[in-house]
Amino acid sequence: MQKSLILYDKENQSDKIQVLKDWGLDYHFEFKGYGIKPLAGGPILTDYDLYIILIGESTRYLDYEFYADVEHIIATSKPILCLNLNGFVALEEDICPRLLYDAGAIHMPFTRDDLLFSLQSIQPDSRLVNPHGSYHFKRFQSPYDKNND
């Protein structure tokens, strides 16, 4: 089973973690919270298949430990999924930390359906294939898409 670590703002996004837990998804999630001031503890960043970062208004203001951990994650080849709490599909430059702009991260809205779709779509080598830029998954085809069946 895929093992994922969710990074979030402990002071402002704990309610979103509870929402995620209430969804009852059949995935193994662990959580690491950060604050504006350094907080002690939390899981070590190794041995995860996927890193999920909740992106909200306060994310840019998290402490140096958050940024050090994100830099460590970027240095690995593991997939990164950024979930925008404001519902935006794709990179949301107004709230996303700049170091994630060109990290090969996937940016999706924080909804149950988008999270499930992303978890089912992310390939383990996604950052090896696309190590730069930012991406999102298109859940619904439009009639104008190429290769639309």
Residue 145 has pLDDT above 60, yes or no: no
Furthest C-alpha separation in the chain: 52
**pLDDT tens by residue, 96-122:** 999 999 999 999 999 999 999 999 999
Output 80 or 127, whichever has higher pLDDT.
80
Residue 138 has pLDDT above 80, yes or no: no
Reference 34, options 3, 79, 64; nearest CA is 64
Contact 33, 10 (CB under 8 A): yes
User: Backbone phi, then psi, for 69, in 5-degree steps?
Assistant: -65, -40
Structure tokens, 18: 């509870």
The CATH classification number of 3-135 equals 3.40.50
Domain ranges of the chain: 3-135
What local confidence, expressed as pLDDT, does residue 149 receive?
47
**pLDDT tens by residue, 28-62:** 999 999 998 776 666 667 789 999 999 999 999 99
